[in-house]
Structure 1
Amino acid sequence: MKKNLIEVLIVEDDSRIAEIHQRFIDKIDGFSVIGIATNYQEAVELFEIVKPQLVILDVYFPDMNGLDFLKWIKDNSTTSNVIMITASKEIESVNQAIHYGVFDFIIKPVIFERLKNSLIRYANYSKKVSNLQSKSAYITQGEIDSLIGKNIGVIEDQSQFPKGIDKLTLEKVLIAIHEESNGMTAEHVSHEIGVSRTTARRYLEYLVSEGKVLADLAYGTIGRPERVYLINKLS
């Protein structure tokens, strides 16, 4: 097994859905499913044995409430995080999940891109925390804001965007740029997310204007220099 993989425990009473979640996660680099629990006893036993960094958790079980297990996790671990994937749409469930510190809350049926977005944001968050811990025992206000207030991929309501800028496409562009530390050209982004080069450039320039992305010139051996776009780590 590769080193530095984020180990994931799936807690889901429907084994077919759990398998779908596992297949989705297996497609995303940097993650490894190390166990599946279908009831409370299995969940507790597996959690204590494998000590996962991330738990994918449902709300409804025949023998427990997933929100109670979420609370149990937070009471018994300072390092494990939780993404809830559930058919529950009640505002009270969402409110409790947020109160107990859930990293994300996804409604079933799960769309692969939505789960991928969440896992990439978690991987970025985890990497930031690790880097900060290796630097110092203390943290600046800007670093705190970066961790909890401005996670990459979190885009607000569609109504805030100008004509020609779509929320979902913008999220895809952000994710693509964030995954490439050396930056990407508009052409590379267009191939990555399946849009035209012109469309990719329009979204990238919008992100530059918002301060989320930086633009620089890359001088090759042939032809004119190209604009290269990188995530603004200070935004």
Structure 2
Amino acid sequence: MTKVLIIEDDPMVATLNQQFIQKIAEVEIIGNVRNIQDARALLAKESVDLLLLDVYLPGMTGLEFLAELHEKKMKVAVILITAANDVSTVKEAIYYGVVDYLIKPFTFERFKLAFEKFQELTNVTQEIQATDQSQLDKYFNSSRLINEEVPEFKNQEELPKGLSRFTLKKIYYQIKQHQSSFSTEELAGEVGLSRISTKKYLVFLAEIQVLEEEMEYLEIGRPLTLYRLNQAKTNDVHRYINE
């Protein structure tokens, strides 16, 4: 059973995080604490598989705690859950190898996606017996993992080369939050990808008619391509994202 430690100074958010993760899977909540000092005390006597970690905490920030875990070489997966959306924070989180980065407020679907990513990576690393390329690809290439290695996914449609099923799912869930048209740059900022990478997925979704395109003509420069979810075609994307 997955052992989870929640570190969040806002009691309401902490309760919500615990409710979300208990709704997704059978887990053991080792603790739900408000500061790093209490978290450190729990980690000293309990093994933990996953931290749900806030950044802005009293006394010591979540990033400072990540640095401490890194220095001590403590092997624990981390999903960062925070209101911090500045680039420097994101870069530091990536450096310390967080599983995912959730910006408050987030939906249950987005939280579920982050936990599923943790589960996928955990399952793959537990399976690895040797460091040959095919085994490593299972860890680093999620689209290959889903398309080739997991039996229940074999009947799914194949994605175009260069697209990841996990990333497509992440982008699709974010698109569903939009009530109106959006641009590539806007969505890229929300999902934490480059504009070029995000554009590839938007083009694909437009090709299968899940997205509708419209042009916004500006006074200066090139016209802006905007996208809108085509509600009549949303089921078509489920063939690619395991739903």
Secondary structure of the residue aligned to 1:36 is: strand
Cα distance change, pair 60–162 in 1 and its aligned pair in 2 (3 A) = closer
**Could you report, residue by residue, the CA deviation over 1:118-153 in whole angstroms, capped at 9, with x for unpaired residues?**
101111110111122xxx2x2222322221232652
SS in 1 for 2:30: strand
1:147 equivalent in alignment to 2:135: no
Q: 1:154 is aligned with what amino acid?
A: T
| 2:39 corresponds to 1:47 | no
**Counterpart check, 1:129 vs 2:121:** no
Alpha carbons of 1:117 and 1:162: their partners in 2 closer, same or farther (altered >3 Å)? closer
Is the 1:85–1:106 contact (alpha carbons within 8 Å) kept by the matching residues of 2?
yes
Structure 2 residue identity aligned to 1:97? A
Name structure 2 gaps, 5 residues minimum: 144-164, 169-196, 212-230
2:159 corresponds to which residue?
none
Distance 1:54 1:79 in 2: 10
Matched, 1:161 2:157: no
TM-score when scaled to structure 1? 0.65
Q: Cα–Cα, structure 1 residues 143 and 49, in superposed 2: closer, same or farther, change >3 Å?
A: same
Deviation at 1:16, TM superposition (A): 1.6
For 2:50 and 2:11, the matched residues in 1 are separated by 19
CA 1:100 to 1:122, structure 2 compared with 1: closer, same or farther past 3 Å? same
**Letter of the aligned partner of 2:21 in structure 1?**
I
Identical aligned pairs, as a percentage? 30
Partner of 1:62: 58
Check if 1:24 corresponds to 2:67. Answer: no
| Aligned equivalents of 2:61, 2:37: Cα separation in 1 | 13
Structure 1 segment 172-187 matched on structure 2, within 5 A: none
Deviation at 1:38, TM superposition (A): 0.8
What amino acid maps onto 2:203 in structure 1? Q
1:35 aligns with 2:31: yes
Q: Figure out how many residues of one structure are paired with residues of the other and give that number.
A: 171
> Does the aligned pair in 1 maintain the 2:77–2:118 contact within 8 Å?
no
Counterparts of 2:57 and 2:111, CA distance in 1: 21
C-alpha distance 204-58 of structure 1, shift in aligned 2 (>3 A): closer
Cα 1:75/1:204, change in 2 over 3 Å = same
Paired letter, 1:114? R
- In the alignment, structure 1 segments of 5+ residues that lack a partner are 167-194, 214-228, 230-235
Q: Name the SS of the counterpart of 2:28 in structure 1.
A: strand
The alignment's C-alpha RMSD in Å is 2.5
TM-score, with normalisation over the residues of structure 2?
Answer: 0.63
* Residue type at the aligned position of 1:102: V
